[in-house]
Amino acid sequence: MPAPSAPWWRDAVFYQVYVRSFADSDGDGLGDLPGITSHLRYLRDLGVDAVWITPFYPSPQHDAGYDVSDYTGVDPLFGSLGDVDDLLTRAHRLGLKVVVDLVPNHTSVEHAWFRAALDAPAGSPERARYLFRPGKGRGGARPPNNWSSVFGGPAWSRIHDGQWYLHLFDATQPDLDWSNPEVAAMFDDVLRFWLDRGVDGFRIDVAHGLAKDRSLRNQRGRRSGETDLPSDRQGSMVERRDVDEPMWDQPGVHDIYRSWRRLLDTYDGDRMAVAEAWTRTPESMARYVRPDELHQAFNFAWLLAPWSAAAFADVIRGTLDAVRPVGAAPTWVLSNHDVVRHPTRYGGGHRGLARARAATLTMLALPGSAYLYQGEELGLEEVDVPPEFRQDPVWFRTGGVGRDGARVPMPWRGTHSPYGFSRAGTTPWLPMPDDWARLTVAAQRRDPASTWSFYRDALRARRRFADAGEDVEIVDGRATVLEVRRGPLTVVCNCGPRPARLPPGTVVLTSGPLDGHLLPPDTAAWVACA
């Protein structure tokens, strides 16, 4: 169990704010920092402990801000440094922690370093901050190796003098060469800059990608057309032990995090970092949270698992077995801005929402910390964004897969778009569905049976079990019902087709109505056992 002196992040509930879609204060159709600040009380009332804010730095926005051109500034689209200070002050006053996104694997092509690299000759120190290489074949016309971009297509682009540069994501996101000490030094400064301003932590983008196999050798056994997107993995591969990945999860990456840990430890207030690392196994995830490395790593296993008691039990067991030896607490997450929202993943409609609520209640019963994605407290589903409004680079590189459907702005109030997200009459950056009036925050706060009220109740109830410890027993998880005991709390999740019996005790909370004393299919319950 977390010791009484456990750091705040160990069992915190984090709420992911996707800046451009949360709240627009100036009527340009894009969310911004003052929009977040004016809704911090909302987050406090919902009952979360911390806010993770996606990138708001200057950027040409080719990948919604994950293409940074200046790591210590604020894009005027989102506000100013003064707005960051205001946000931090207000959040801290309300008792909320603030985590910002750090994007160290790649810069934007508009970063001063990449511009300088293009202006400098092959072999120059300016080029050595990135991964420039000569091509293969006659005239170097073929890329240096067979790596694919996570977003589809080749991972290499060619520049004016014939050299190629590596980009594991979009061509506008050149990968940095982390074996160059200049790169590490620059990011140390960036970390200090935001820590000095008062942020409580960092979410590390593509944390498993910074170190590449130095030889940049070919990847073995790659199927053509396959991307590394979560959508290609969902439901099929929770673990991918046999895949050859010379670009991911290389041993050298851990030296970077050891050095960051030393830096973070020089600050007061339990500053933390969480790795976004799409590792192949729970054991490799656990390597990022060894005592001298990062504090947390996103645990994507559940989000990749199908709706199944056995699959959920495997995820819980695998996760806890992996983090226990390194003394870390687990994290849990069901949705974020890169994956299909979980009500839709679980089949959509009434059943998808029931399952999503049940999975959420199950996850919130577990030890460690949970990450929520804005809008899941409203039960929002993935939106089928028409092709002409698509913005995600993945859509264009794959010709039809994209993440915009999970990024549609938050509906706050009212009966039609932009539902209080922006000033009336404003066109939001992605179109908002016509039938969202019943899903707005205002509508759901009035309804005790709404998904919003359910999240608020669940977060409140979770606080009551803060001392339930970190030991977990999977009582049942072989068939269709998952039953997990954690101290005095038992959570039961019915993934099967028939109503299930609940263990003796007091029912604390359910994700949907009970059927007499029985737990209906697609429903979860918390039971306090004596």
Which residues are annotated as catalytic? Answer: 205, 276
206 binds ligand NOJ (CB under 6 A): yes
- Closest CB 151 distance from ligand NOJ, rounded Å: 7
- Closest CB 528 distance from ligand NOJ, rounded Å: 37
- Closest CB 397 distance from ligand NOJ, rounded Å: 11
Cβ proximity to ligand NOJ: between 68 and 316 the closer is: 68
The pattern of x and - marking residues 17 through 56 that bind ligand NOJ according to CB under 6 A reads: ----------------------------------------
Cβ proximity to ligand NOJ: between 280 and 337 the closer is: 337
Q: Is 325 exposed, middle or buried (0-12, 13-18, 19+ CB in 10 A)?
A: exposed
338 binds ligand NOJ (CB under 6 A): yes
> CA-to-CA distance for 385 and 158, rounded, in angstroms?
32
CA 419 vs CA 46, 163, 247, 278, 427: distances in Å:
19, 49, 43, 35, 11
Identify which of 86, 85, 88, 90 has the alpha carbon closest to the alpha carbon of residue 99.
88
Residues 6+ apart with CB under 8 A from 204: 102, 104, 273, 274, 275, 276, 277, 294
Cβ proximity to ligand NOJ: between 183 and 519 the closer is: 183
- Closest CB 205 distance from ligand NOJ, rounded Å: 5
404 binds ligand NOJ (CB under 6 A): no
169 binds ligand NOJ (CB under 6 A): yes
Number of Cα atoms under 13 Å in the Cβ half of residue 129: 23
Cβ proximity to ligand NOJ: between 22 and 169 the closer is: 169
Beta bridge partners, 331, equal: 369
User: Under rule CB under 6 A, which residues in 411-470 are in contact with ligand NOJ?
Assistant: none
The pattern of x and - marking residues 71 through 110 that bind ligand NOJ according to CB under 6 A reads: --------------------------------x-------
What is the total count of residues that contact ligand NOJ (CB under 6 A)? 9
Residue nearest to ligand NOJ (CB): 66
SS3 494: strand
323 binds ligand NOJ (CB under 6 A): no
CA 126 vs CA 114, 117, 130, 131, 180: distances in Å:
8, 5, 8, 11, 11
Let me know: does 191 contact 260? Beta carbons within 8 Å: yes
228 binds ligand NOJ (CB under 6 A): no
Cβ proximity to ligand NOJ: between 18 and 465 the closer is: 18
63 binds ligand NOJ (CB under 6 A): yes
For residue 411, the tally of other CB atoms under 10 A from its CB is 27
> CA-to-CA distance for 483 and 525, rounded, in angstroms?
10
Locate the DSSP E strands across 236-291. 272-275
- Closest CB 4 distance from ligand NOJ, rounded Å: 34
Residues 6+ apart with CB under 8 A from 307: 346, 347, 355, 359, 495
Cβ proximity to ligand NOJ: between 132 and 169 the closer is: 169
- Closest CB 176 distance from ligand NOJ, rounded Å: 12
Let me know: does 215 contact 179? Beta carbons within 8 Å: no
66 binds ligand NOJ (CB under 6 A): yes
> CA-to-CA distance for 78 and 360, rounded, in angstroms?
31
Let me know: does 170 contact 164? Beta carbons within 8 Å: no
Residues that bind ligand NOJ (CB under 6 A): 63, 66, 103, 169, 205-206, 276, 337-338
